[in-house]
Structure 1
Amino acid sequence: MFRFSLPLAVLFTTSALSSPLSLAARRPEATAEQCHGISGPFLAPSFPDPSLYYIDDTWYSFGTSNGKDFQGAKSAELKSGWSKLDGPILAIDEATWAGQQENGVYGLWAPDVFQRTSDSKFVMYFAALDKETIGTDNVQHCIGAAISDEIGGVYHPENDFVQCNRTSSGVIDPAWFKDNDGKQYIIYKTEIPENWLEIREVRSSGPKEGVEFVGNAQKLLQVNGQGFSDGNNMEAPYIFRRGDTYFLTYSTHFTGDGSYDVQYATAKKVTGPYTRVKTPLLKTTDTFGCTLTGPGGASFQRNAQGDEGVAKIIFHGLTDAMDINKRVVYTATVQVDGDKLSIQP
């Protein structure tokens, strides 16, 4: 968000502290030394905050872009062959609650998509600037939803579904989760300085599936909690389940340098309590035979698809340029061993 017309203090309330990107800049994939156990980089010049959804033998991802729309991509293999989707993706001008800066930017952030069972339509969760706070000293994001007949869009906002926390911190980085009992949830973060990871149930059936809240939000983890130092930033939460264990993944520190990472915590109930794991799943390293810098913003394969011992992952990382506008995509297979996660080089 470094190109937004916001005060400096507001810049550090955003998730991923990312920078909008140009959809016009569609150059070929970045070249880099070959990793072992990790595939990529893909989708240069930049594709931050990548989501992950598998349907009809194809992997789809949606990512943060230029603040006015999102970008999408697909691959049949996950570990190769990624190509960008044609836009537009989201009809953000139809969102009655979202506001624009003077430069036309809506501050769109970190989309996540799933297909609902009630009518086979696709739901996209996203964050955008809250028009009620634009022009104030406390510009915030809200979380909304949009619906499309096709996974590639165009997604049309559902304006009676929106969450704003105007009395405290805004909300951002929404991700969907469906539990084994059929209940559905959104996991997200409250913006700095509050910076909690929270969960809230949504309707799991009928015409309002995915776009109606059920009950109030519940807190999961707070930044710098349980004796961890997070660089005063915790974001990009995601939940998946294997066996009887829930894995809550998230990133900490700053996405613009090598401190960014992928951490996780575990629980036996979706609402916690979650216990943080000491060793991060991903951090800046040469372990994989390549230079992996600032990995984070990860999303995971939700459904085990018959194999409880693995979970596919997609995440972004910095290039050698160390430029926040150049965060490229990597994919890998995560090994699940009880309550521990690992990626083998």
Structure 2
Amino acid sequence: MLILGIETSCDETSAAIVSDRREILSNVLLTQLDQHIVCGGVVPEVAARSHLDQLDSVIRHALKEADITLDKIDAVAATGGPGLIGGVIVGVTTAKTIALAKNIPFIAVNHLAGHALTARLTHDIVFPYLLLLVSGGHCQLMIVQSPLDYDILGETMDDAAGEAFDKTAKLLGVPYPGGPQIEKLAKQGDPLKFQFPRPLFHKKEPEFSCSFSFSGLKTAVRQTIEKLGDLTEKTRADCAASFQYAVGEILANRTLNAMKKCQERNINLTHFVVAGGVAANEYLRQLLEKTAMSQNMKFVAPPLNLCTDNAAMIAWGGIEKMRLNQIDSLSFVPRPRWPLSELERISK
């Protein structure tokens, strides 16, 4: 079975061909970085227009790279949300058109589920497993029970970790995209130079043990930078390193709490998976791997190129749904918001 995947939820236009044998035959990605860098972030209208202009050629490239034609495709899957709605509409409309023209199934894939299931494409792990989904717009800890069943243990109460990285980068005068630049700058700095807060660490209530909060951390970074005035290269590096160190401790602490909560519930989980754009940060990956090892769990993270938005994960999400006979109607409406909690649950 071969699935064409389409991803257009933010600022990456991507198309991929993936088989149900876990083979990625192609995974073409066209970045819009140059178009958004002058604005210091993604402009939704510009992103949607770029998807509209480029998606057809990206799909043709993916087919050529896989050495197949549309006649060989068994289904087409597209990100149905959440995301910037203009881009989502472009991807869904294109997928529906192909499905209708070729009389093949159309599958709407939840973007978060695509990230959550990538580890099954790359490492063939079985359900259930513990997942930390950490990206520019989301930060959640959950037990992945099936492609449609996610037990949320905790999530951010305000901002996501990736958003905090981008905001800190702007404050430090680091060019967009902020996450990779902060990681690079942090390697030159002292992570103990500034004592930034770890929000929610002092909360003893069980309901907060797996929750995240990054708004206070962002505020502390801003106030520190304002007090410092003109920043030297060393001070900028120290700020970046101290910020990244704080985020790492927050993620590791919340993850450890989630692991212990699963143990208390007698939920036998052998794998801990990290997914999403922030999972591409090598420092954070190493820290979270140590956390998993401390609880005798196997650490799994997709390759760096599959952590950020890509169509291979959407194609694989389509395969997972196809296996459950979960085919979507052409009347599916793209969704700017689509929490995993609103996915249809299946019997276990």
Structures share a fold, TM > 0.5? no
How high is the TM-score relative to the length of structure 2?
0.28
Larger-Rg structure: 2
Higher strand content, 1 or 2: 1
Higher helix content, 1 or 2: 2
Q: Which has the higher contact order (CA 8 A, sep 6+)?
A: 2
